[in-house]
Amino acid sequence: MDERISIRLTGHVAAFPATREARDALRQYLDDARRALRSDPDADEIVRDLESAIGDRLSTLTGSGDDSLTGAQMAEILAELGPVSPARPSPPSVEGRPRGRFWCRINEGKWFGGVCLGIAAYGGFRVDWVRTVVLLLTMLTGGLLAVVYLVLLLVLPVVPTVTDYERQRDALR
């Protein structure tokens, strides 16, 4: 005979007696639902609603008896609910691709605003070379590049460290 365990579901005070097979089927169903809804901002609420609906169905099925819910009974309940899919599937062309390089300012090791450090991270250059080139171009343009630098200082987003930049650059969309 299967070991009897208790299942607690959102929205229900009482625990439902079940077999390990029934519990594992429920866990798998809820895990699959969380995976399917991972891009949905309301995923947690939807999963809680699913748990509540399953609990409502279990309370009518088990009643006040001491019989444990079997794996076959749980499979029947979950089949009635059907598979969970997101309301708005995300476009396949965007999902799974890294963000890629982006322009920013980096606070870690900055001298004046972190723009040169951001340019170095974007291009994969050494920051001392970028600073030297910016200084030389600023002198050669009569300070015009300084105006561009100040605009970049105001416009570019700030990233705390080079490591954070790399993490954001390589993160999947």
Asked whether the beta carbons of 22 and 65 are under 8 A apart, the reply is no
pLDDT digit string, tens, across residues 104-143: 898 888 888 889 998 998 888 999 999 999 999 999 999 8
- Residue 159's DSSP bridge partners are 106
Helix-strand-coil percent breakdown of the chain, rounded to 5? 55, 10, 40
pLDDT digit string, tens, across residues 27-60: 898 888 888 888 777 888 888 888 888 888 888 8
pTM of the complete model:
0.49
CA distance 86 to 40: 7
Question: Closest by alpha carbon to 165, among 138, 128, 127?
Answer: 127
- Residue 89 in this model has a pLDDT that exceeds 70: no
Question: Closest by alpha carbon to 70, among 30, 20, 13, 115?
Answer: 20
CA distance 117 to 100: 17
